[in-house]
C-alpha cells in the first residue's frame, strides 16, 4: 500500500516536472543574438556601434560606450556565439574623458576607427588602429569636432570652419571658404573622390577629396552645386553614399522632427524625402538586391511602451526614391520603457553576409535573420 | 466478581431417589403413624420403642430410610448403655439400609459408622470376657469409646414420598427448565420449600408446594384427573440440554432436551425452536392433536465452542467484531465462538483499533481485556497535506506559466516578427518558473511523502490487551432420563 502510494507520487512528480533546459535550447533557436553590457567599466554601453571588417567567418562589431569612455568589440563566432568586451581600449587614455550622445564613430573599413568627442567648446579625437588583438590609439586634441570621416587612410575632422587631416602625430588644417560654415555630416564618395558635406545650415555640396589629402594649410576650394535642405541637421546627422545617390538623415536641433533626403549626386538635387519623427540614427544596408535605409527611432512608443524601434525603408537606387512605409520595423520582442532601442544602427558582415545590428541602452542586437534576409549560422 | 453457575443441581438429589412400593394409601397412613410415634420415642431416648416404630413403618412402606432410622435407634441405645446387642442390631440395620440403597449418598459415612461400631462391639466383648473371668459377676457399664463419641449423636431421617394415581407421572422440581426430576412413585430426601409439577400424558398437570422437613415423613399423594382435550409433545435432540422454545421465544426457554416423557400442549399449530450454543438453531412447525403425542427429534448441526469474553476499560463504548462481523455493538461481550482461528477486533471511537487473531479451543474460556490507546492527532499529516497542496498548486501555476512562456516564445520565434533575441527576459523568467515549478513539485513530493508517512505511521503506543485462557470445568450431568455434560465458568 505505502509503496504503491510512493510510486504514484513519484510518477505524478515526474509528469509534472518542468525541464528548464528547454528554455536554453529554445534560446539557441532565436534569430537574434543579444549582447548585454560586458564588464568594461561602462554603465552606458553601446552608445555607438560600427560593423568592422572581418574575414569570411563570424563577424566583429566596434562598440563605443560612455560613463568611462571605452572602445571594445563584440566578436561573433561563425556559429553566432558572441563574446563581448574584446579588444578593450580605455578612451580616457586618449584624451576622451566624456562622450556626448551620439559620439562620432567611423571606420575606414580596413581596421582603423576614429572616435570623436563631440564638443562645442573643444574636444578630442581618438584614432584606434592596429591588430584586433592589439589595438593601439593616438589622439588629437582640442579640435571641437563636428564631423569625422575617413579619406583613404586619413581621418578628416571637420571642426567649425576648419577641416583637419589627421595623420600620424600630425594634424593639418584647411580653412573653409566661409567663416560661418559648420559641418553637420560628411561622407566620401570614393567612386568620384568627392567628400560630400552637409552643413548645419542645410547646405549639401561636394569637395574634391584631393584637397584634403593632405590639407595644404590653405583655403578649400569653393563648393560647386549646392542643395539646401529644408531641415537644418542637428548633431547625429549622417550622410550615406549609395551609388549615384546620397542619403541624408538628420533630426531637427530642437524637436523630434527627423527627415531623410535622397540626393541625386549627379545633379545635386533631391530625388526623394521622407519625414521620420524621432529619427536619431541611420545606416544603409543591402540585403539581397535591395538597399534599405535603416532608421533608428529610440524614443518611439511600441505597444504603449517608449522603448524604441527601427524602420527599414527600401531605396530604389535607380530612381532615388524611398518606400513611404517601412519594409520592416524591428523592436525588442520584450520592449521595455527607456530601452532606447535603435539609438545606434549599423550593418555588419557575418559569415560574409550582411546583417543588421541595432544598439539599445547597454544592449546590442545582432539580427541573423529577419523577414528581409536570412544569415542564420 | 465471582459468579457460579451450577448446571446440575439435581444430581445428588436424584441419586437418592428410589421407587416407593406401590401400596395403598392405608399403608402410607400406617407408615406415617408409626414414623411419627417412633420419631417421638427417639427424641425421648426410648430407643427400643423408636426402633420398633421405624420397623413398623418399614413394614407398612419399605423405605430404606426407615431401616437407617432403625439402625440409628440401636446405635444411640448402644452408645448410651454400651450394649453389645444394640450395637450388633445397629450394624445389622445399617447394612440392610446400604443393601437396599446401594447408591446412598451417605454410604461412606454409614460404612464408617459400621466399622466403628464393629470395633466397639469387639472391644466391649473383650472387655466383658476379662472382667467376667476376673470377678465372676455382671460387668459394670463401660463408657463408649472415643471413636464412638467422635461419631456424635445420630439423627433419624425424614422422608419425602410422592405418589400419584395413576403412577408413572413425571415430576418436575421448581422449574420445568431443569428437566424432569423423577417419576412417581418417588421417595427421598429433600430440604426446604419446593414447587412440585407433576405431569402425565392424558392427565391434567398438578402443581403443589411442599415444605420438606429432614426429620419428618412428608407424603404427597396426588390423584390426577384425566384431561382429554390436551395434546402431548416429546422432544429429543442430539445435544442434551438444548433449550426448547415454544411459539414465543421472547418468554424464554420452557424446557430443555430431552423433553421426555413429554408435556401437555394445547392442540393446534405450534412453532418449536430448539437451540444450543455452538449449534444452528432447529425449528419446526408442528400440529398437535388432542390426546395424541407428537414426537420431535432435533438433529442440531454445529461444532464445539469456546467462550470468548471481551472486557476492559471503556469497553462499554467499544464495538466488538469477530471475523469482521459485529457481534457486540457495545461491550462487554460474551459469546460462544466455534473452535478455530478468529480475528477479534475491538473498535472504539477516538481510540486505536485493537485487532488480533486468536485460536478458540473448545471447552475453554478466552478472556481479552483490552486497553485501548487513544488515537494520536493527525494535525501533522493535515499540515503536510496542506503544504503538499500549496506547493503542488504553486508548482502547477508556475509550470503553467513556464509552459505559456515557452509556447509564446516558440510561436514568436517561428513568426519572427518581431524576432526574439536569445536574451529575451522571458527565457530567464521561463527558466525561473520552470525551476521554481520543479522545486515546488519536489517540495510537494517530499511533503506528500511526509504526509503519507504521518498518515500511516503508527504514532504512539498501540492498543493492547491481556489474554487469559483457561479451561471451563466440565462435569458429568445425569438426570433420571438423560445424561450429558455440565460446564461451570467463572467471570
Task: Give the separation between CA B216 and CA B228, rounded to whole angstroms.
Answer: 37
B412, B422, B431: residue with CB nearest A34: B422
Please write the tens of the pLDDT for every residue from A282-299: 999 999 999 999 999 999
Q: Which secondary structure element, helix H or strand E, spans residue A24, and what is its range? A: helix A21-27
Percent of residues in chain B assigned helix, strand, coil, to nearest 5: 40, 30, 30
Among A99-103, A118-122, B65-69, whose mean pLDDT is lowest?
A118-122
Contacts of B144 (CB under 8 A, 6+ apart): B78, B79, B82, B120
Going by pLDDT thresholds of 50, 70 and 90, the confidence category of residue A188 is very high
Q: For residue A168, what pLDDT band results from cuts at 50, 70 and 90?
A: low
At B291, is the secondary structure helix, strand, or coil? coil
Q: How many CB pairs under 8 A join A and B?
A: 111
CA distance linking residue A135 with residue A130, whole number of Å: 5
Which residue in chain A has the smallest CA separation from B423? Answer: A34
Cα B321 to Cα A357, B310, B352, B470: the distances in Å are 84, 10, 14, 22
Q: Could you give the percent of chain B with pLDDT greater than 70? A: 87
Residue A305 C-alpha cell reads as 511602451
Residues of chain B with Cβ-Cβ distance to A13 below 8 Å are 441-442, 444-445
pLDDT of residue A53: 76
Looking at chain B, the whole-number percentage of residues with pLDDT higher than 90 is 24
Inter-residue contact A218 to A174 (CB < 8 Å): yes
CA torsion A234-A238-A243-A244 (nearest 10°) is 10
| Average pLDDT of chain A, as a whole number | 86
Measured at the CA of A250, the angle between CA A247 and CA A256, to 5 degrees, comes to 140
State the pLDDT at residue B141: 67
Give the CA angle between residues B321, B326, B327 to the nearest 5°. Answer: 85
Could A20 and B427 be called an inter-chain contact, meaning their C-beta atoms sit closer than 8 Å? Answer: no
- Of all helices (H) and strands (E), which one includes residue B407? helix B379-415
Q: Answer whether residue A217 shows pLDDT above 90.
A: no
The set of residues, in sequence order, having a beta carbon less than 8 Å from that of B248 and lying 6+ positions away, is none
Q: What is the band of A54 on the pLDDT scale with cuts at 50, 70, 90?
A: confident
Interface test with A, best of B409, B421, B457 (most A CBs within 10 A): B421
**Residue whose C-alpha cell is 453389645:** B84
**d(C-alpha A348, C-alpha B181), whole Å:** 129
> What stretch of H or E contains A157?
strand A154-159
Q: What is the mean pLDDT of residues B7-30?
A: 48
Q: What is the 3-state secondary structure (H, E, C) of B170-181?
A: EEEECCHHHCEE
Residue A158: closest CA among A194, A195, A132, A127: A195
Report the pLDDT averaged over residues A332-353. 94
In angstroms, what separates the C-alpha of B424 from chain A's closest C-alpha? 7
pLDDT higher at B130 or B442? B442
Q: What pLDDT score was predicted for residue A187?
A: 95
Distance CA B151, CA B134 (A): 31
Chain A residue closest to B433 (CA)? Answer: A20
- Do B124 and B141 touch, CB atoms closer than 8 A? no
- The nearest CA of chain B is from the CA of A334 a distance in Å of 7
Pairing relation of β-strands A203-208 and A194-199? antiparallel
Task: For residues B465 and B462, give the distance between their C-alpha atoms in angstroms, rounded to a whole number.
Answer: 10
Q: If pLDDT is split at 50, 70 and 90, which confidence band does B20 have?
A: very low
**pLDDT over 70 (residue A176):** no
Q: DSSP for B219-276?
A: EEEEE--B--S-EEEEEEESSTT-EEEES-GGG---EES-EEEEEEE-SEEEEEEEE-
Q: Given the C-alpha cell 571642426, which residue does it identify?
A: A159
Which residues in chain A are closer than 8 Å to B409, comparing Cβ atoms? 23, 26
Mark yes or no for CB contact B409/A371 under 8 Å: no
Mean pLDDT of A202-227: 79
Our CA-based measurement puts residue B411 at a distance from the nearest CA of chain A, in whole angstroms, of: 11
Backbone angles phi and psi of B258, in degrees to 5: -80, 135
Contact B438 A330 (CB under 8 A): no
- Which one of B409, B435, B448 has the shortest CB-CB distance to A20? B435
Among chain B residues, CA nearest to A32:
B421
Task: Give the pLDDT of residue B289.
Answer: 86
By Cβ distance, the residue of B399, B410, B424 closest to A333 is: B424
Question: Most confidently modeled of A214-218, B249-253, B342-346?
Answer: B342-346
Residue A182: is its pLDDT beyond 70?
yes
How many Cβ atoms are within 10 Å of A367's Cβ, its own excluded? 24
CA torsion through residues A358, A360, A365, A371, sign = negative
B111-144 pLDDT, tens digit per residue, is 999 999 999 999 888 887 676 555 444 455 678 8
Asked whether the beta carbons of A116 and A166 are under 8 A apart, the reply is no
Q: Which of B419, B425, B434 lies at the smallest CB-CB distance from A18?
A: B434
Contact B253, B245 (CB under 8 A): yes
Residue from the list A10, A19, A30 with its beta carbon closest to the beta carbon of B413: A30
Q: How far apart are CA B283 and CA A217, in angstroms?
A: 143
Burial group, residue B435, by CB count within 10 angstroms (0-12, 13-18, 19+): middle
Nearest by CB: B434 against A19, A29, A363: A19
Give the residue among B36, B75, B74, B72 at the shortest CA–CA distance from B56: B36
Residues forming a β-bridge with B358:
B342
Of residues A312, A309, A313, the one with CA closest to residue A301: A309
The answer to whether the CB atoms of B413 and A29 lie below 8 A apart is yes
Does the pLDDT of residue B479 top 80, yes or no?
no
Q: Is the pLDDT of residue A141 over 70?
A: no
**CA separation for the pair B281, B302 (Å, rounded):** 9
Q: Within a 10 A sphere around the Cβ of A142, how many other Cβ atoms?
A: 14
The pLDDT, as a whole number, for residue B473 is 54
* Pick from A211-220, B266-275, B481-490: least confident: B481-490
List CB contacts (< 8 A) between B397 and chain A: none
Give the C-alpha separation, A105 to A63, whole Å: 9
Instruction: Average the pLDDT over each of A153-162, B59-68, B69-78, B468-477 and give the range with the smallest value.
Output: B468-477
Chain B residues closer than 8 Å to A19 by CB:
434
Q: Give a three-class secondary structure readout of B321-359.
A: EECCEEEECCCCEEEEEECEEEEEEEEECCECCEEEEEE
> Is A29 at the interface with chain B, CB within 8 A?
yes
- C-alpha–C-alpha distance, residues A144 and B8, integer Å: 137
Among the ranges given (A98-112, A138-152, B312-326, B455-469), the one the predictor scored with the smallest mean pLDDT: A138-152
What are the b/e assignments for B96-105, b being 16+ CB within 10 Å?
bbbebbeebe
pLDDT score of A93: 80
Cα atoms in the Cβ-side hemisphere of radius 13 Å centred on B476: 5
Cell numbers at B380, concatenated? 501533522
Name residues 307-346 of chain A within 8 A of B (Cβ). 329-334
The predicted model gives A107-136 an average pLDDT of 70
Q: Give the per-residue pLDDT at A5.
A: 59
Asked if the peptide bond before residue B486 counts as cis, ω within 30 degrees of 0, the response is: no
Q: What average pLDDT does the structure give for chain B?
A: 82
The separation between the first and the last C-alpha atoms of chain B, rounded to the nearest angstrom, is 7
Instruction: Report CB contact under 8 Å: A23, B434.
Output: yes
Say what the pLDDT of residue B4 is. Answer: 33
pLDDT at A346: 97
CA distance A21 to chain B (A): 7
- pLDDT above 60 for A212: yes
Residue that is written with C-alpha cell 463504548 in the block: B317
Backbone angles phi, psi at A336, to 5 degrees: -125, 145
Q: Which residue has the cell 414426537?
A: B295
Cα(A93)–Cα(A96) distance, rounded to whole angstroms?
Answer: 7
Q: pTM score, two decimals?
A: 0.57
Give the bridge partners for A132, in sequence order: none
Confidence of residue A78 (pLDDT cuts 50, 70, 90): very high
* Most distant CA atoms of chain A, gap in Å: 101
What's the Cα-to-Cα distance from B142 to each of A34, A349, B367, B473, rounded to whole Å? 146, 160, 64, 51
Say yes or no to pLDDT of B2 above 80.
no
By C-alpha distance, the chain B residue nearest A335 is: B424
Average pLDDT over every residue of B471-484: 54
Chosen for mutation from A2, A21, A27 (greatest number of chain B CBs closer than 10 Å) is A27
Alpha carbon distance B52, A136 (integer Å): 165
Residues of A287-297 as b/e, b for ≥16 C-beta within 10 angstroms? Answer: beebbbbbbbb
Q: Residue A333: which of B406, B420, B434 has the nearest Cβ?
A: B420
* Pick from A32, A35, A363: CB nearest B420: A32
Q: Which of B402, B424, B431 sits opposite A334 (nearest CB)?
A: B424
Q: Which of A6, A17, A331 lies at the smallest CB-CB distance from B438?
A: A17
Contact B36, B126 (CB under 8 A): no
Cβ–Cβ under 8 Å, residues A245 and A266? no
Above 70 in pLDDT, residue B354?
A: yes
B315 DSSP assignment = G
pLDDT confidence of residue A301: 96
Among all residues of chain A, which has the CA nearest to that of B443?
A: A13
What are the residues whose beta carbons fall under 8 Å from the beta carbon of B163, sequence distance 6 or more? B20, B28, B184, B185, B186, B219, B220, B221, B222
Cβ–Cβ below 8 Å for A16 and B413: no
A31 and B396 within 8 Å at the Cβ level: the answer is: no
Measured CA to CA, the distance from residue A93 to residue A126 in angstroms comes to: 10
At B13, the pLDDT band (50, 70, 90 cuts) reads very low
Residue B462 Cα, gap to closest chain A Cα (Å):
20
Assess contact for B326 and B340: CB atoms under 8 A: no
State whether B422 and A33 contact (CB < 8 Å): yes
Question: How close B478 comes to chain A (CA, Å)?
Answer: 58
Instruction: Supply the pLDDT for residue B339.
Output: 84
Give B145-194 pLDDT, tens digit per residue. 888 888 888 888 778 888 888 888 888 888 877 777 888 888 777 777 88
| pLDDT at residue B185, as a whole number | 80
List, for residues B278-336, the tens digit of each pLDDT value.
677 888 889 888 878 888 888 888 767 788 999 998 889 999 999 999 999 988 898 88
| Grid coordinates given for B243 | 433449550
Angle at which helices B379-415 and A2-16 cross, to 10°: 30
Please tell me the distance in Å from B279's CA to the nearest CA on chain A: 39
Say whether residue A15 is in contact with chain B using an 8 A CB cutoff: no
On the question of pLDDT at A249 being above 90, the answer is: yes
pLDDT(B415) > 50: yes
Cα angle value B154/B156/B161 (rounded, 5°): 155
Interface check for B433 against chain A (CB to CB < 8 A): the answer is yes
Cβ of B422 within 8 Å of Cβ of A363? The answer is no
Task: Say whether pLDDT at A204 is over 90.
Answer: yes
| Residue B435 forms contact with A (CB below 8 Å) | yes
Mean pLDDT of A97-108: 81
Interface check for B414 against chain A (CB to CB < 8 A): the answer is no
Q: How confident is the model at residue B16 (pLDDT cuts 50, 70, 90)?
A: very low
B196 forms bridges with which residues in the sheet?
B173, B208
Which residues of chain A are within 8 Å of residue B398 when distances are taken between CB atoms? 18
More confidently predicted of A279 and B192: A279
Amino acid at each position: 500500500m505505502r509503496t504503491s502510494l510512493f510510486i504514484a507520487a513519484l510518477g505524478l512528480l515526474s509528469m509534472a516536472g518542468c525541464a528548464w533546459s528547454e528554455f536554453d535550447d529554445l534560446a539557441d533557436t532565436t534569430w537574434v543574438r543579444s549582447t548585454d553590457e560586458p564588464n568594461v567599466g561602462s554603465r552606458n554601453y553601446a552608445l555607438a556601434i560600427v560593423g568592422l571588417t572581418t574575414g569570411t567567418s563570424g563577424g566583429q562589431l566596434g562598440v563605443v560606450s560612455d560613463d568611462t569612455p571605452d572602445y571594445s568589440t563584440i566578436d561573433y563566432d561563425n556559429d553566432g556565439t558572441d563574446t563581448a568586451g574584446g579588444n578593450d581600449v580605455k578612451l580616457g587614455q586618449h584624451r576622451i574623458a566624456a562622450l556626448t550622445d551620439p559620439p562620432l564613430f567611423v571606420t575606414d573599413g580596413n581596421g582603423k576607427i576614429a572616435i570623436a568627442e563631440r564638443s562645442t567648446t573643444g574636444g578630442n579625437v581618438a584614432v584606434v588602429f592596429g591588430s584586433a588583438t592589439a589595438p593601439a590609439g593616438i589622439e588629437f586634441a582640442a579640435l571641437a569636432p563636428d564631423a569625422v570621416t575617413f579619406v583613404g587612410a586619413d581621418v578628416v575632422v571637420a571642426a567649425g570652419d576648419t577641416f583637419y587631416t589627421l595623420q600620424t602625430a600630425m594634424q593639418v588644417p584647411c580653412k573653409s571658404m566661409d567663416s560661418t560654415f559648420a559641418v553637420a555630416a560628411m561622407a566620401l564618395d570614393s567612386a568620384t573622390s568627392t567628400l560630400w558635406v552637409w552643413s548645419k545650415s542645410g547646405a549639401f555640396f561636394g569637395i574634391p577629396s584631393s584637397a584634403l589629402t593632405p590639407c595644404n594649410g590653405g583655403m578649400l576650394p569653393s563648393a560647386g552645386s549646392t542643395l539646401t535642405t529644408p531641415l537644418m541637421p542637428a548633431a547625429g546627422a549622417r550622410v550615406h553614399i549609395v551609388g549615384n545617390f546620397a542619403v541624408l538623415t538628420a533630426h531637427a536641433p530642437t524637436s523630434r522632427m527627423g527627415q531623410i533626403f535622397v540626393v541625386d549626386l549627379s545633379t545635386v538635387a533631391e530625388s526623394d524625402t521622407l519625414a521620420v519623427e524621432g529619427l536619431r540614427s541611420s545606416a544603409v544596408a543591402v540585403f539581397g538586391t535591395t538597399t534599405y535605409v535603416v532608421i533608428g527611432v529610440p524614443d518611439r512608443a511600441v505597444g504603449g511602451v517608449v522603448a524604441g524601434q527601427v524602420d527599414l525603408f527600401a531605396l530604389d537606387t535607380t530612381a532615388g526614391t524611398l518606400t513611404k512605409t517601412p519594409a520592416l520595423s524591428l523592436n525588442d520582442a520584450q520592449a521595455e520603457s527607456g530601452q532606447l532601442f535603435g539609438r545606434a544602427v549599423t550593418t555588419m558582415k557575418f559569415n560574409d553576409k550582411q546583417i543588421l545590428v541595432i544598439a539599445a541602452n547597454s544592449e546590442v542586437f545582432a539580427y541573423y535573420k529577419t523577414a528581409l534576409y536570412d544569415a542564420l549560422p | 466478581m465471582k459468579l457460579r453457575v451450577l448446571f446440575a443441581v439435581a444430581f445428588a438429589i436424584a441419586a437418592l431417589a428410589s421407587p416407593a412400593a406401590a401400596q395403598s394409601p392405608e399403608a402410607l397412613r400406617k407408615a406415617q403413624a408409626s414414623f411419627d410415634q417412633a420419631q417421638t420415642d427417639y427424641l425421648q431416648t426410648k430407643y427400643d420403642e423408636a426402633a420398633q416404630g421405624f420397623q413398623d413403618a418399614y413394614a407398612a412402606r419399605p423405605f430404606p430410610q426407615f431401616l437407617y432410622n432403625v439402625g440409628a435407634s440401636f446405635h444411640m441405645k448402644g452408645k448410651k448403655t454400651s450394649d453389645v446387642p444394640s450395637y450388633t442390631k445397629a450394624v445389622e440395620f445399617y447394612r440392610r439400609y446400604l443393601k437396599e440403597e446401594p447408591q446412598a449418598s451417605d454410604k461412606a459415612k454409614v460404612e464408617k459408622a459400621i466399622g466403628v461400631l464393629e470395633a466397639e462391639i469387639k472391644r466391649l466383648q473383650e472387655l466383658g470376657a476379662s472382667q467376667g473371668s476376673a470377678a465372676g459377676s455382671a460387668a459394670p457399664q463401660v463408657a463408649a469409646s472415643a471413636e464412638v463419641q467422635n461419631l456424635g449423636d445420630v439423627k433419624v431421617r425424614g422422608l419425602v414420598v410422592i405418589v400419584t394415581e395413576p403412577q408413572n407421572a413425571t415430576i418436575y422440581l421448581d422449574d420445568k427448565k431443569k428437566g424432569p426430576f423423577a417419576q412417581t412413585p418417588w421417595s427421598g430426601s429433600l430440604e426446604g420449600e419446593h414447587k412440585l409439577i407433576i405431569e402425565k400424558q392424558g392427565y391434567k398437570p398438578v402443581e403443589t408446594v411442599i415444605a420438606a422437613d429432614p426429620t419428618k415423613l412428608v407424603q404427597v399423594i396426588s390423584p390426577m384427573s384425566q384431561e382429554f382435550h390436551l395434546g402431548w409433545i416429546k422432544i429429543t435432540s442430539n445435544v442434551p440440554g438444548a433449550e426448547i422454545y415454544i411459539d414465543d421465544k421472547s418468554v424464554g426457554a420452557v424446557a430443555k432436551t430431552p423433553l421426555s416423557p413429554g408435556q401437555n400442549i394445547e392442540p393446534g399449530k405450534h412453532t418449536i425452536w430448539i437451540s444450543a450454543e455452538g449449534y444452528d438453531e432447529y425449528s419446526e412447525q408442528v400440529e398437535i392433536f388432542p390426546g395424541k403425542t407428537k414426537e420431535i427429534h432435533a438433529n442440531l448441526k454445529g461444532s464445539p465452542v469456546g467462550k470468548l469474553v471481551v472486557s476492559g476499560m471503556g469497553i462499554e463504548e467499544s464495538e466488538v467484531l469477530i471475523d469482521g462481523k459485529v457481534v457486540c455493538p457495545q461491550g462487554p461481550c460474551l459469546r460462544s465462538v466455534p473452535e478455530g482461528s478468529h480475528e477479534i477486533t475491538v473498535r472504539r471511537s477516538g481510540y486505536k483499533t485493537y485487532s488480533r487473531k486468536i485460536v478458540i479451543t473448545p471447552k475453554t474460556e478466552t478472556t481479552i481485556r483490552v486497553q485501548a490507546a487513544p488515537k494520536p492527532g493527525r494535525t501533522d499529516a493535515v499540515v503536510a497535506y496542506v503544504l503538499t497542496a500549496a506547493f503542488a498548486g504553486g508548482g502547477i501555476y508556475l509550470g503553467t506559466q513556464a509552459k505559456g512562456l515557452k509556447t509564446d516564445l516558440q510561436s514568436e520565434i517561428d513568426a519572427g516578427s518581431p524576432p526574439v533575441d536569445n536574451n529575451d527576459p522571458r527565457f530567464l523568467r521561463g527558466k525561473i518558473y520552470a525551476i521554481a515549478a520543479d522545486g515546488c513539485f519536489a517540495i510537494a513530493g517530499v511533503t506528500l511523502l511526509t504526509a503519507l508517512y504521518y498518515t500511516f505511521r503508527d504514532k504512539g503506543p498501540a492498543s493492547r490487551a491481556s489474554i487469559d485462557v483457561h479451561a471451563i470445568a466440565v462435569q458429568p450431568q445425569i438426570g433420571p432420563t438423560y445424561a450429558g455434560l455440565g460446564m461451570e465458568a467463572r467471570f
